Amino acid sequence: MLGQASIPLVGIVDTAVIGRTGDAVALAGVALGATIITLVFWTFGFLRMGMTGLTAQAQGSGDRAEVEALLLRALAIGIALGFFVLAISWPLREAALAILSGTPPVDAEAGGYMQGRFIGAPAALAVYAITGWMLGLGRTRQALALQIVMNMANIGLDIWFVWGLGFGAYGVGLGTACAEGIALVTGLFIVGRIAGANVLAIIARTPRALLTDRARLAKLFAVNRDIMIRTIALLILFTWFANAGARLGAQTLAANHVLLQFVSFAAFILDAFAFTAEQRVGSAFGQGDKARFMRAIRLTGEFSLASGAALALAFLLLGGPLIGFLTTDAAVRETARAYLPYAALVPLVGMPSWLLDGVFIGTTRGVALRNAGVLATVLYIALDLALRPFDNTGAWIAMTASYLLRAGGLALYFPQLIKDVGEPAPSGV
């Protein structure tokens, strides 16, 4: 939970540093730019999610060589994809800004933020792989240390670049990119401590035949393909929501972005239990231990429910002052406080979807994740369009309902998952 709570601090710090300049347009630009960067970077979120389940299963079956081979494969894929994203960053940025509904001043600020963030793409995607590997091994303390290093670096660099050097939205993006580079170096050091050898030594002792084994690569790409489709679907969902705010003006966009910091914080806190479920469920699934499998789901579910309720109450009680801290613009504050109850409801309503994500990721059920994610996104967009006459209220109702849609889609696959514990995995999952 501590490790997960530290992750959204990146977005919260980005928001607070630029928000306290009093420039609503710059804050809206960071909001729009962050939405696009999240869409691009988390398209490759399978590097974190797929790695956790596969690593947990390899550890559960006692296959140490495959555990290390998974790390090497994911690092190679992450770094290669990161440089590819960096190479095409200009057309990506221009196309995204042309599609979304920002005003020219907001687009200019968003473009500056994105320019800074894209520099960190190779490091960011490599850190996804390292984090997923650590979580798959149950090394949560090391994952916490990695996040703390990145967040502390991000805080210091953001303040320096924005308040010290006056770089504005570009400085926020550049500070985060530099922090991701620092996190990569730190992550490689931690990997060496866990494995008892640095990455070069791991490469040297891993058989080439294992790294390129067709069956293992086929499973890796099948799982990652389905998780990637699922992730893209959910990112489209969140981008659609951000665009709804942009359509209603810079103040609404900025206010929704402030409230999304609450949602993000809740998501990462509750994902702590989902990640625990990934590791515990994945390991039990690899061993074929149904009793341990069900116990992991029950315990993580109980803690998730209690935490979701506590977060919802905390947001209602403390949300007003926190909004005042994140932005000094009076109009943005007023709008954000008006819609705070919707953001406060998300931890409770969204808890089942996050927990089920963890269960299905840990068991590498990519088809179920893909189908539930795509269905939830399609139904969400239809609901949002139907609620357009209610402006931002309709947008928040549709967003809140999307979590129930996602959980419902995964619940349809849950009975079959229980039956499959201890049995050979069906083909294509």
| pLDDT at position 271 | 77
Cβ neighbours for 393, distance < 8 A, ≥ 6 positions apart: 339, 387
| pLDDT at position 309 | 93
Between CA 179 and CA 9 the distance in angstroms is 12
Q: How far apart are the first and last CA of the chain?
A: 29
In degrees, to the nearest 5, what angle opens at C-alpha 239 toward C-alphas 365 and 180?
75
Q: Amino acid identity of 96? A: A
Residues in the chain: 429
Range of the domain at 313: 2-420
Number of domains, the chain: 1
Around Cβ 211, how many Cβ atoms within 10 Å? 17
Phi/psi for 257 (5° steps) reads -65, -40
Q: Please check whether residue 428 lies inside any domain of the structure.
A: no
DSSP output for 271-307: HHHHHHHHHHHHHHHHHT-HHHHHHHHHHHHHHHHHH
* 195 contacts 55 by C-beta, under 8 angstroms: no
Q: Please check whether residue 425 lies inside any domain of the structure.
A: no
CA-nearest of 222, 153, 214, 215 to 183 is 153
Between CA 360 and CA 348 the distance in angstroms is 20
* 17 contacts 30 by C-beta, under 8 angstroms: no
| pLDDT at position 9 | 64
Tokens of 329: 């613009």
Q: Please check whether residue 147 lies inside any domain of the structure.
A: yes
Assign 413 to helix, strand or coil: coil
Cβ neighbours for 68, distance < 8 A, ≥ 6 positions apart: 195, 202, 205, 206
Between CA 367 and CA 77 the distance in angstroms is 21
Q: Please check whether residue 429 lies inside any domain of the structure.
A: no
> Half-sphere exposure of residue 85, counting CA atoms within 13 Å on the CB side?
27
Q: Please check whether residue 242 lies inside any domain of the structure.
A: yes
| pLDDT at position 46 | 73
| pLDDT at position 429 | 41
Q: Please check whether residue 426 lies inside any domain of the structure.
A: no
CA-nearest of 188, 135, 123, 147 to 13 is 147
Assign 25 to helix, strand or coil: helix
Per-run averaged pLDDT (10 residues), the chain, 429 residues? 59 69 70 78 76 76 79 89 92 80 74 89 92 83 86 87 80 90 94 85 81 73 76 82 76 83 82 78 79 87 91 92 83 89 92 89 83 93 92 91 93 88 51
Taking the whole predicted model, whether its pTM rises above 0.85 is answered as no
> Half-sphere exposure of residue 269, counting CA atoms within 13 Å on the CB side?
23
* 269 contacts 307 by C-beta, under 8 angstroms: yes
Q: Please check whether residue 427 lies inside any domain of the structure.
A: no
